[in-house]
Amino acid sequence: MRALSRVSVYALINVAIVAALVVMLYPLIWMLSASFKTGYEIFHSLSLLPQAPSLDNYISGWTALRLPFSVFFMNSVVLCAAAVLGNTISCTLAAFAFARLRFPLKRVLFAVMLMTIMLPFHATIVPQFVLYEHLGWVGTILPIVVPKFLAVDAFFVFLLVQFIRNIPTSLDDAAKIDGCGPFRLFYWVILPLLTPALATTAIFTFIFTWNDFFSQLLYLGNSVSSYTVPVALRAFIDATSLSSWPQTLAMSLLSLLPIIGFFMAFQRLLVEGISTTGLKG
Amino acid sequence: MSEAAREGLAAYLFLLPWLIGLFGLTLGPMVASLLLSFTHYDLLSPPRWVGLHNFQLLLSDDRYLHSVRVTFTYVVLEVPLKLAFALLLAVVLNRGLRAVGLYRALFYVPSLLGGSAAIAILWRQIFGGDGMANMILTSLGWHHPPAWLQDPSYALFTLVALGVWQFGSPMVIFLAGIRQIPREFYDAARVDGAGRVSQFFRLTLPLLTPLILFNFILQMVYAFQTFTPAFLVSGGNGSPVDSTLFYTLYLYNEAFGNLHMGYGAAMAWILLVVIAVSTAAVFASSRYWVFYMETER
């Protein structure tokens, strides 16, 4: 009797959770369905099944702006790839120094690094814009990519420091006895063991950069040929009237696919990363 | 050269990119931003020193003061609601369910996608006057539901809903925290006759307070900086009638739309100070409500 009531309590909890999930994910499911519907149907039918599913919205949406979406996707991919490269290299270098080497001012610099993690980017955005304007970088990806090569996303430095600290120092000692200096210690001992942390850094950098709207609007929002996907979506709702909702939703959905793909492929790694570091998704 | 000097030199070589970034792109611009806040600067002619004029102007700028109110309202509503949902779901998901991994991942999906332009645009459709939400409400028998995003009394709440919808990331952190609580604590509580409710309030909740503090500060700092949904949902200007004119949106429009760089820098510094003071206040309050277990390790 007791066992039975226990089973039914669990069943009830499961039902409640699934119901909550359906409500939460309904907007996304609806978006998927709407992208295959006609405009009239989107605003007049609640059914999730399109009457005559068609790819028309995707086909017409792809070329609805002055340049096709392939250009915007390519721009986003190039931007994200450069950001990933920059973040993984520069943050790893800095993290190794903080986690493994002794040097003057280490405590001060480490504290400063921690403080910059919480710094709102508005604190620096106006002079940065002025600087990039004078350098002639506005309209290129440099204002977004160069900071990544200079480890400005201190959060990832912190993440990598935590990871390196967990690597046993006995490995360092062995390497030192064999005559390794700091550079060979980094390259031959630490770096090969960093793969999971580097993957976490790379994937989160990709997702953040792909989703980031503010800096792409600011630096890449002035010429169609430099639009990334989020900026192009914005142009979509500016340039077109309500009648183009089906195409807008279709392109919005496409813009989410890379993130969903990465999430499905690396779900465990990502969720572990969030639980252990408090990373915002 | 001594061993220590060589190691120090090597360390600074490893730190070089970060140091250039720190001084060139973080600390330098912070100082420059402070200096700019005392000037008029439109990017075309050199900055002109005006003392405290920008700050005086801000105090009498109704749109600015309104944006402060909008942002505070958002932070005060969004952060606690989001954490409450996160905590509730984390506790429920921890009840030894078999599919917990799958559930956790699915609840996290809105956090993963929610910050994107695409979701902000989706929100614009859903909460439009003839959007999906109203189609459902009408079919449920509510004949004239408000036009949410077109209605200044409701527009901000749809953005609060968008923020709360993304409770997955604090939930994942809470869930990891709950799993750290030793089983024996609950066994002992049961032996002492504590029911589920009292276990939650006397055991789970106090032991999670350090994580509540952590999540609260993190979400608060993010909430103050909300930009993307406000920009896209309102069409870039905080409409209707400035009801979604977030602080950062006004800052963006002033600094980069009207090229009032000095004014924008002053706004940015005030925001920085407000975030720092709020964070410090929450930390100070934590003495009274955060429970740290005495651990001997």
CB-based contact A102 B272, cutoff 8 Å: no
- Domain identity same for A38 and A122: no
Q: What pLDDT is attached to residue A2? A: 57
Across the strands, what pairs with B40?
A: B48
Say yes or no: A272 and A145 in one domain.
Answer: yes
Query: Do A242 and A107 share a structural domain?
Result: yes
Mutate to test the interface with A, among B14, B83, B217, B256 (most CBs of A within 10 A): B14
How many angstroms separate the CA atoms of A57 and A187, rounded? 50
Restricting to B residues 37-56, those with a Cβ less than 8 Å away from any Cβ of A are 41, 43
Please report the pLDDT score of residue B250 as a whole number: 97
Q: Say if residue A189 is in the same domain as residue A114.
A: yes
Structural domain count of chain A: 2
Residue B240: cis peptide before it, omega within 30 degrees of 0: yes
Q: Across the interface, which of A113, A122, A154 has its CB nearest the CB of B268? A: A122
- Cross-chain Cβ contact B22/A17 below 8 Å: no
Q: Does pLDDT of A281 surpass 50?
A: no
Q: Is the pLDDT of residue A4 over 80?
A: no
Do residues A245 and A180 both lie within one domain?
A: yes
**Which chain B residues touch A128 with a CB distance below 8 Å?**
25, 29
Chain segment B115-174, per-residue pLDDT in tens: 999 999 999 999 998 899 999 999 999 988 999 998 999 999 999 999 999 999 999 999
Do A166 and A216 belong together in one domain?
A: yes
Query: What pLDDT, on a 0 to 100 scale, did the predictor assign at position B156?
Result: 96
Instruction: Give yes or no for B112 touching A (CB within 8 A).
Output: yes
Predicted pLDDT at A240: 57
Give A27-41 pLDDT, tens digit per residue: 999 999 999 998 889
> Do A266 and A150 sit in the same domain of this protein?
yes
Chain segment B48-67, per-residue pLDDT in tens: 999 999 999 999 999 999 99
CB atoms within 10 A of CB B157: 19
CATH no. for B56-289: 1.10.3720.10
- What residues of chain B lie within 8 A of the CB of A211, using their CB? 113, 115-117
Query: Looking at chain B, which residue has its C-alpha nearest residue A146?
Result: B21
Q: Measured between alpha carbons, how far is B265 from B249 in angstroms, rounded to an integer?
A: 14
Chain B positions touching A126 (Cβ under 8 A) are: 29, 33, 36, 255, 261, 264-265, 268
- Expressed as residue numbers, the domain containing A8 is 2-57
pLDDT of residue A279: 57
**Interface touch A281/B21, C-beta < 8 Å:** no
- Confidence bin at B87 (pLDDT 50/70/90): very high
Q: How high is the pLDDT of residue B297? A: 44
Question: Tell me, what's the pLDDT at B294?
Answer: 63
- Listed by number, the residues of chain A in 31-90 with a beta carbon closer than 8 Å to a beta carbon of chain B are 31, 34, 42-43, 46, 89-90
Question: pLDDT tens digit string along A165-178?
Answer: 988 888 888 888 88
Q: Is the predicted pLDDT of residue A241 greater than 60, yes or no?
A: no
Q: How confident is the model over A147-156, as a mean pLDDT?
A: 95
Query: CB-CB: which of A89, A123, A236 is closest to B272?
Result: A123
Q: What interface predicted TM-score (ipTM) does this complex get? A: 0.90
Count of CA atoms in the C-beta half-sphere (13 A) of B247: 26
Contact between chains at A122 and B21 (C-beta distance less than 8 A): no
How far away is chain B from the Cα of A167, in angstroms, using its nearest Cα?
Answer: 18
Rg (CA), chain A: 24
A168 and A39 in a common domain? no
The DSSP result for chain B, as a single string, is: --HHHHHHHHHHHHHHHHHHHIIIIIIHHHHHHHHHTTEE--SSS--EE-TTHHHHHHHT-HHHHHHHHHHHHHHHHHHHHHHHHHHHHHHHHTTT-TTHHHHHHHHHHHHHHTTSHHHHHHHHHHTSTTSHHHHHHHHTT-SS---GGG-TTTHHHHHHHHHHHTTHHHHHHHHHHHHHS-HHHHHHHHHTT--HHHHIIIIIHHHHHHHHHHHHHHHHHHHHT--HHHHHHTTTTT-STTTT--HHHHHHIIIIIS--HHHHHHHHHHHHHHHHHHHHHHHHHHHHH--------
CB contact under 8 A, B261 and A126: yes
Distance CA A144, CA B26 (A): 14
Range from A114-128, A263-277, B146-160, B229-243 carrying the lowest mean pLDDT: A263-277
A207-235 pLDDT tens trace: 999 999 999 999 999 999 999 999 999 98
The secondary structure of residue A143, as a DSSP letter, is H
A108 in the same domain as A235: yes
Name A178's Cβ contacts closer than 8 Å, sequence gap at least 6.
none
Is there a contact between B17 and A151 if contact means CB atoms under 8 Å apart? yes
| Residue A174 one-letter amino acid | A
CB proximity list for A160: less than 8 A, separation 6 or greater? A91, A92, A95, A96, A99, A194, A197, A198, A201
Q: Would you call B26 and A20 a contact, using CB atoms and an 8 Å cutoff?
A: no
Same domain, A110 and A212: yes
Q: Would an 8 Å CB–CB cutoff place B20 in contact with chain A?
A: yes
- Is any Cβ of chain A less than 8 angstroms from the Cβ of B152? no
Q: Does B12 touch chain A (CB under 8 A)?
A: yes
Least confident of A153-167, A192-206, A259-273, B278-292: A259-273
Under the banding of pLDDT at 50, 70 and 90, the label for residue B296 is very low
Mean pLDDT of A146-169: 93
Residue A132 is part of a domain; what is its CATH number? 1.10.3720.10
CA A109 to CA A115: how far, in whole Å?
10
Please give the Cα distance from B267 to A20 (Å, whole number).
40
Q: Pairing between strand B48-49 and B39-40? A: antiparallel
Q: How far, in Å, CA of A130 to CA of A126, rounded?
A: 6
| pLDDT score, position B97 | 75
